[in-house]
A and B are shown apart, each in its own frame.
Chain A
Amino acid sequence: ETGVTQSPTHLIKTRGQQVTLRCSSQSGHNTVSWYQQALGQGPQFIFQYYREEENGRGNFPPRFSGLQFPNYSSELNVNALELDDSALYLCASSTLTSGGPGGGELFFGEGSRLTVL
Chain B
Amino acid sequence: AQSVTQPDIHITVSEGASLELRCNYSYGATPYLFWYVQSPGQGLQLLLKYFSGDTLVQGIKGFEAEFKRSQSSFNLRKPSVHWSDAAEYFCAARGGGYNKLIFGAGTRLAVHP
Contact = CB atoms under 8 A, between A and B. Distances in A.
Interface stretch (A64-72, A75-83, A94-102): A94-102
Contacts of B103: 35, 42-44
B49 to A, nearest CB: 7
Interface residues of B, number: 25
Could you tell me the dominant secondary structure of chain A's interface residues? loop
Contact of A110 (B42, B46, B92): B42
Interface of B: 4, 32, 36, 41-46, 49, 51-52, 90, 92, 96-106
Interface of A: 2, 4, 31, 33, 35, 40-45, 48, 50, 55-56, 58, 90, 92, 94, 96, 99-101, 103-111
A48 B97 CA distance: 12
A35 to B, nearest CB: 8
A104 B49 CA distance: 12
B98 A105 contact: no
A90 B44 contact: yes
A94 B46 CA distance: 13
Contacts of A105: 46, 49
A44 B106 CA distance: 12
A44 B92 CA distance: 11
Contacts of B92: 42
B98 A109 contact: no
Contact of B99 (A31, A41, A44, A110): A31
B100 A56 contact: yes
A82 to B, nearest CB: 22
Given A2-B43, A110-B41, A110-B42, A42 B104 contact: yes
Contacts of B42: 110
B96 A100 contact: yes
Which of A43, A56, A100, A103 is the most central at the interface, judged by chain B CB atoms within 10 Å of its CB? Answer: A43
